[in-house]
Amino acid sequence: MRIGIDIIDIDRIKDAVDRTPRFLSRVFTKQEIEYCYSKSNPYPSLAARFAAKEAVRKLGPGFSSGVHFHDVEVIVHEDGRPDLLLHGTAMESYREQFNTISISLSHSKKQAIAAVIVGKG
């Protein structure tokens, strides 16, 4: 089992979006952007997704290099549970080493956090 955790200031994401509009499409999938912008304040949700992408990169060998932002996508089930869709290098590394994956997202007014747990069995 491995755990990846990341925390980020929500204002950092807001500043990046305001400063560089292309940031959104470079980092987030179309579906992630649509979901986040369906909220009255999209920045906490964007920050939580950014933290999730970084948490995956912290899972260690196979994940720390070669994984692009779009290789990790956060989706939300109808019941509100977040889940991960892995693509490209992230999916290849996951399939080679693990068969279970879990994610937890949370945020306060100022920070967002994500924890990703992968394992076998």
Kindly list the domain boundaries of the chain, sorted by start residue: 2-119
- Which residue has better confidence, 62 or 37? 37
**In sequence order, what are the beta bridge partners of 6?**
114
- Three-class secondary structure of residue 4 per DSSP: strand
**Mean pLDDT of all residues in 54-72:** 92
CA-to-CA dists, residue 118 to 33, 87, 121, angstroms: 25, 15, 10
In this structure, which topology does domain 2-119 adopt according to CATH? Ribosomal Protein L22; Chain A (3.90.470)
- Which residue has better confidence, 60 or 107? 107
The pLDDT of residue 67 is above 80: yes
- Tell me the average pLDDT of the chain: 96
Which pLDDT band, with edges at 50, 70 and 90, does 62 fall under? Answer: confident
Q: What is the pLDDT of residues 4-21, one digit of tens each?
A: 999 999 999 999 999 998
Nearest to 54 by CA among 100, 95, 4, 2: 4
Give the predicted TM-score (pTM) of the model: 0.96
